[in-house]
């Protein structure tokens, strides 16, 4: 079985904007992300991004725009991300089991990659990122300034989260 770091995208890897991140000019990588990803890969973790992307359903950007942003990230990080799972839905438009706090994106990744949830972590900036991880027995770390009741640890940013993981 594999150990995995699940990551939310906006607010963990890149700066989160109220009006979404869907183009290179809005993609601001947060400090320390590249080195953090390298450290996690060197320690043998799979790295999987689990992200809600409701701007697609809202018609603000296309799925192709999102994939372009993911391609840019992969180029910057030497393909450190093993997979991206995204949920384009939003409750105002349609119901979906994939969107966090639902756990379907996690469940699909766990099955596909034979992931041991007891050896894995979820790093997110919002409570909805952590709820499905807790449900599945994955340890949780919240970055930024929010107040999740589902966080096992609360830290400033991804580099600090890596320090928690490496203990």
Q: Is 32 part of a structural domain of the chain? A: yes
153 is in an annotated binding site: no
Per-residue pLDDT reduced to its tens digit, 55-89: 888 888 999 999 999 999 999 999 999 999 999 85
18 is in an annotated binding site: yes
Per-residue pLDDT reduced to its tens digit, 100-159: 899 999 999 999 999 999 999 999 999 999 999 999 999 999 998 677 889 999 999 999
8 is catalytic: yes
Catalytic residue among 8, 127, 129, 157: 8
Hey, which of 33-37, 52-56, 141-145 has the most confident mean pLDDT? 33-37
85 is in an annotated binding site: no
| Confidence at residue 134, expressed as pLDDT on a 0 to 100 scale | 96
Q: CA–CA separation, 110 vs 39, rounded Å?
A: 22
Query: Model pTM?
Result: 0.94
Per-residue pLDDT averaged across 40-63, rounded? 93
126 is in an annotated binding site: yes
Q: Is 107 part of a structural domain of the chain? A: yes
71 is catalytic: no
**What is the span of the domain harbouring residue 132?**
12-114+126-138
Q: Is 59 part of a structural domain of the chain? A: yes
Return the H-helix or E-strand segment holding 50: strand 46-52
Number of domains in the chain: 1
Q: Is 51 part of a structural domain of the chain? A: yes
Is pLDDT at 8 greater than 80 in this prediction? yes
The CATH number given to whatever domain includes residue 16 is: 3.40.50.1000
| Confidence at residue 94, expressed as pLDDT on a 0 to 100 scale | 67
45 is in an annotated binding site: no
Q: Is 149 part of a structural domain of the chain? A: no
Q: Is 102 part of a structural domain of the chain? A: yes
| Confidence at residue 44, expressed as pLDDT on a 0 to 100 scale | 98
From edge to edge, which strands make up the β-sheet containing 46-52?
83-87, 46-52, 4-7, 121-124, 139-143, 153-155
Q: Is 156 part of a structural domain of the chain? A: no
Q: Is 68 part of a structural domain of the chain? A: yes
- Torsion of Cα atoms, 127 then 132 then 135 then 139, to 10°: -70
Is pLDDT at 35 greater than 80 in this prediction? yes
| Confidence at residue 148, expressed as pLDDT on a 0 to 100 scale | 82
Catalytic residue among 10, 65, 144, 160: 10
Confidence of residue 91 (pLDDT cuts 50, 70, 90): low
């Amino acid at each position: 079985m594999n150990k995995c770091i699940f990551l939310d995208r906006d607010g963990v890897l890149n700066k989160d904007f109220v009006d979404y991140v869907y183009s290179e000019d809005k993609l601001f990588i947060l400090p320390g992300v590249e080195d953090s990803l390298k450290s996690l890969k060197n320690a043998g973790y799979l790295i999987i991004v689990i992200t809600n992307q409701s701007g697609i359903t809202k018609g603000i950007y296309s799925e192709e725009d999102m994939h372009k942003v993911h391609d840019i990230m992969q180029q910057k990080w030497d393909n450190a991300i093993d997979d991206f799972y995204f949920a384009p839905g939003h409750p105002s438009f349609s119901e979906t089991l994939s969107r966090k706090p639902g756990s379907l994106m996690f469940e699909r990744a766990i099955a596909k990659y034979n992931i041991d949830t007891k050896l894995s972590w979820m790093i997110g900036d919002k409570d909805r990122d952590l709820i499905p991880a807790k449900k599945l027995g994955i340890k949780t770390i919240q970055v930024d300034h929010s107040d999740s009741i589902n966080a096992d640890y609360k830290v400033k940013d991804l580099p600090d989260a890596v320090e928690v993981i490496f203990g």
